[in-house]
Amino acid sequence: MLEEFNKYLDDFYKEELLENYDKEVIDSIDKSNGKKVLEVLNKYNFYFLEDVILNYIDIFMMDAADVEKGILRLREKLGDDYLIKIGDDLSILDEIIKL
In which region does residue 46 sit, left (phi positive, over 0), alpha (psi from -120 to 50) or beta (all else)? beta
Percent of the chain scoring above 90 in pLDDT: 97
Average pLDDT of the residues in 48-75: 96
Question: How much is the pTM?
Answer: 0.92
Whether residue 69 is predicted with pLDDT greater than 90 in this model: the reply is yes
Report the distance separating Cα 59 and Cα 94, nearest Å. 9
The confidence score (pLDDT) of residue 98 equals: 81
The confidence score (pLDDT) of residue 88 equals: 96
Report the distance separating Cα 11 and Cα 14, nearest Å. 5
Whether residue 99 is predicted with pLDDT greater than 70 in this model: the reply is no
